[in-house]
Amino acid sequence: MVAPRIWLFPDMNQAESRVVAWRGPVPKLRQWYIEGQDVHLKMTHLIAKAIQESKIPIPKRDGIALFTRKPWDEFIKGDEEREQTKRIVHGGNYEIGVKKTALILGVSEVLARILLAIYYSLNPEIKNNYHVWIRTELKRTRTLWMPNPVRFRKVFWDILDDDTYRQGYASYPQCIVAAMLNRTLVHCANIFRKDSNELLKDQWCAWYGVENWDHWRSLRDVNDRSPQAILWSGMDIRLNVHDAGGISAPSAPDLVRWAAIVWRDKAEEQIWITENDPLVIPVDFKTGSSWGELEDYKIA
């Protein structure tokens, strides 16, 4: 008898921003990530502090001047300013420009230009280190090599102009994160098929039912690739959303914990962006009866 299903959602924590922080390097962002800080909230405080202490005039939107409506160090998670800062970080890292930043933030181009200028002044290594490295690699070989354990290359065939460079700024972290997610998906979706010694029989039976075990063995032994055999080969992964997965798992605490550990151990393997300072992207988990009713889940 299989327990009722719940969702287990593993999510790579601020994955693309971490890649930029390590590749730059961008010391301020990197140190905050190492310390486990809320990077977007810390950056919100610095942006608000710069605006308030320098008395920078901020255009109002719906009668409100963002980043000035309360003391700079009182902004908290959930405030609109933090969400706007999160978009500024990504927009600045990828140099999407003032017009697109304004569109994404839903603010005027005047305000978007101010916010981007402050972000770059707080983190000059974005332009001086990260962007310079990308442009240098594209000018030299038109190629960006992704680091181990996802070693592959992306070649840029377009004319080398600002648009191509912007593609490079975005492609490097996006390719690394997507590849790390894909290898984790493949590992977890095939974990029972690869279990030749049947050490995971208890987990399989808890997931798909002891009454189906012999049927699964017969399919596995002939390398059957029917939809049923593919499903039974590993975790029941239903969704792949950007840098997260969505697993339909039986609501059995030990099984959910096992699935989370297996996913985490694969997803958190070291990424060798630099030889002496490998990056580990931590995975956060949520569980719930539906996608809209998820709560934080901690591995006990």
Residue-wise pLDDT for 197-254, tens only, equals: 999 999 999 999 999 999 999 999 999 999 999 999 999 999 998 899 999 999 999 9
Does a structural domain hold residue 151?
no
Q: 8 has which bridge partners?
A: 247, 287
Examine the domain organization and report whether 9 and 40 are in the same domain. no
Residue 149 resides in a domain: no
Residue 175, token pair as written in the block:
């390719």
Task: Please identify which residue in the block is written with the tokens 């390097």.
Answer: 25
Residue 189 lies in a domain: yes
CB contact set of 257 (below 8 Å; sequence gap of 6+): 299, 300
Q: Do residues 239 and 202 both lie within one domain? A: yes
Residue 145 inside a domain? The answer is: no
**Residue 8 — φ and ψ, nearest 5°?**
-120, 115
Query: Nearest CA to 51 among 147, 117, 124, 143?
Result: 117
Weakest-pLDDT range from 13-17, 59-63, 124-128, 153-157: 59-63
- Using the predicted structure, report yes or no on whether residue 86 has a pLDDT greater than 70: yes
- pLDDT higher than threshold 70 for residue 294: yes
Tell me which residue range forms the domain holding 189: 5-13+184-297
Contact assessment for residue 146 and residue 272, using Cβ atoms and an 8 Å cutoff: no
Same domain, 192 and 244: yes
Same domain, 38 and 111: yes
Q: For residue 121, how many other CB atoms are within 10 A of its CB?
A: 11
Inside any domain, residue 255:
yes
Same-domain pairing of 193 and 279: yes
Please list the alpha-helical segments (H only) found in 106-161: 109-122, 125, 132-141
- How far the first Cα of the chain sits from its last, in Å, is 25
Give the separation between CA 84 and CA 110, rounded to whole angstroms: 15
Banded model confidence at residue 2, pLDDT cuts 50, 70, 90: low
- The whole-number pLDDT of residue 59 equals 87
- The token pair at 208 is 């798909």
267 with 12: CB under 8 angstroms?
yes
Residue 21 in any domain: the answer is no
Would the pTM of this model clear 0.75, i.e. be above it?
yes
* Domain-embedded: residue 57: yes
- Compute the half-sphere exposure of residue 252: CA atoms within 13 Å on the CB side of its CA: 17
Pairing of strands 294-297, 244-250: unpaired
Rounded to whole angstroms, how far apart are CA atoms 23 and 18?
9
Domain boundary among 122, 154, 170: 122
Q: Does residue 177 lie within any of the structural domains?
A: no
> Are residue 9 and residue 78 in the same domain, yes or no?
no
Q: Tell me which of 97, 122, 147 is where a domain ends.
A: 122
105 and 199 share a domain? no
Q: Is the model's pLDDT at 1 over the cut of 60?
A: no
Measured CA to CA, the distance from residue 216 to residue 218 in angstroms comes to 5
Closest C-alpha among 277, 218, 283 to residue 10: 283
Number of domains in the chain: 2
